[in-house]
């Protein structure tokens, strides 16, 4: 068995870094910058490290809409919590509408990152980690 010089990435770290769920080393996206909007969802066809296919079947990525929705709702709840703790929110002074505007701006600016994260999470639901995947490629 080969010894690897690279340390195994953790589950959470590999998701946040958009790494292949099978080997946790290969990059899933061709471009590291999610804000290059013309290429935001350009993915490798196969993991460059272990060879895992990224699109498991035609139309596979349609399911990421549900994941993206859940991420956006969780992110909005997080934004509501910190906004409420720092500024307070009441109906009397319409501060809820201020939060809605702030949340809308933050969500819009973070959507490229959330879209990539939703693809990585969705692929992770179907592909399990295999510590020896790199050796078999």
Separation between Cα atoms, residue 126 and residue 122, nearest integer Å: 7
The pLDDT of residue 136? 65
The pLDDT of residue 78? 96
pTM of the model: 0.82
Separation between Cα atoms, residue 103 and residue 10, nearest integer Å: 30
Whether 80 has a pLDDT exceeding 90, the answer reads yes
The pLDDT of residue 92? 83
* Residue 24: φ, ψ to 5°: 60, 25
- 83-115: pLDDT as tens digits: 999 998 887 888 899 999 999 999 999 999 999
- 28-58: pLDDT as tens digits: 999 999 999 999 999 999 999 999 999 999 9
Query: Mean pLDDT of all residues in the chain?
Result: 90
The pLDDT of residue 73? 97
Helix (H), strand (E) at residue 65: helix 64-87
Residues 6 or more apart from 51 whose CB is under 8 A from it?
137
Whether 3 has a pLDDT exceeding 90, the answer reads no
* Structural contact between residues 63 and 122, judged by C-beta atoms closer than 8 angstroms: yes
């Amino acid at each position: 068995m080969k010894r690897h010089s690279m340390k195994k990435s953790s589950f959470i770290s590999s998701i946040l870094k958009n790494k292949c769920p099978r080997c946790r080393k290969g990059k899933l996206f061709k471009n590291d910058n999610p804000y290059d909007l013309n290429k935001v969802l350009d993915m490798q066809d196969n993991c460059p490290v272990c060879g895992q296919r990224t699109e498991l079947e035609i139309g596979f990525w349609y399911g990421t809409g549900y994941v993206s929705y859940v991420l956006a709702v969780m992110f909005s709840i997080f934004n509501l919590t910190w906004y409420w703790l720092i500024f307070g929110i009441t109906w009397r002074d319409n501060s809820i509408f201020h939060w809605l505007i702030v949340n809308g701006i933050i969500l819009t600016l973070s959507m490229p990152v959330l879209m990539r994260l939703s693809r990585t999470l969705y692929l992770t639901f179907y592909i399990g980690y295999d510590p020896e995947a790199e050796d078999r490629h």
